[in-house]
A and B are shown apart, each in its own frame.
Chain A
Amino acid sequence: DGGITQSPKYLFRKEGQNVTLSCEQNLNHDAMYWYRQDPGQGLRLIYYSQIVNDFQKGDIAEGYSVSREKKESFPLTVTSAQKNPTAFYLCASSMGRGQYFGPGTRLLVL
């Protein structure tokens, strides 16, 4: 089945640790996005990529990094510089007709 997968579903981070969230899509979409959702709020854009080997900062990129080595994959690393990482992270992909979202990863700090 075509779609977007994110793993893990839950992720626990210790202070000072970098963690990586996976996002894979088999929809053959060029563009991919990472959003962060805090409780009771809408989503905010962290990073986006419109083509392989290229990506751009979104509105809240500080403390995060990404890579886009393959069309299908757009992993997000939450670095130790991100002081408030607890949130729900959603990955999306698009071919211009609308963004389709993965099931999300909930990141919690120990």
Chain B
Amino acid sequence: AQKVTQAQTEISVVEKEDVTLDCVYETRDTTYYLFWYKQPPSGELVFLIRRNSFDEQNEISGRYSWNFQKSTSSFNFTITASQVVDSAVYFCALSEVGNQGGKLIFGQGTELSVKP
């Protein structure tokens, strides 16, 4: 069965701290995609990153970085030097090729609060 687990329901940090959001997934497929989305208070989901199962290279984009480890089925997301604007709910999601049109299976989300 496919499943995405984000064990951290809420995280609160002070501005400029680094913070890591955890994501663990389950799938029987060998070909799949992993995503991170940001949901600010407005509600719209903002696409952050897509990673396919054959590419375990870590990725950095500005203050954001992602650590994909197939051995532990994890796809963690780190924000360096957090800012108040980073406050949002962050979702990790899994998509399996050929499964219901590539539907996204979402975790429960982690609410990040960055205080000034």
Contacts and interface: CB of A to CB of B under 8 A. Distances in A.
A and B bound?
Answer: yes
Interface of A: 31, 33, 35, 40-45, 48-50, 56, 58-59, 88, 90, 92, 94, 96-104, 106
Contacts of A40: 108-109
A90 B46 CA distance: 12
A41 B108 CA distance: 5
Contact of A48 (B37, B45, B47, B103): B103
Contacts of A35: 104
Interface residues of B, number: 23
Q: Which of B47, B50, B95 is the most central at the interface, judged by chain A CB atoms within 10 Å of its CB?
A: B47
Contacts of B57: none
Contacts of B35: 98-99
B103 A58 contact: yes
B101 interface: yes
Contacts of A100: 47
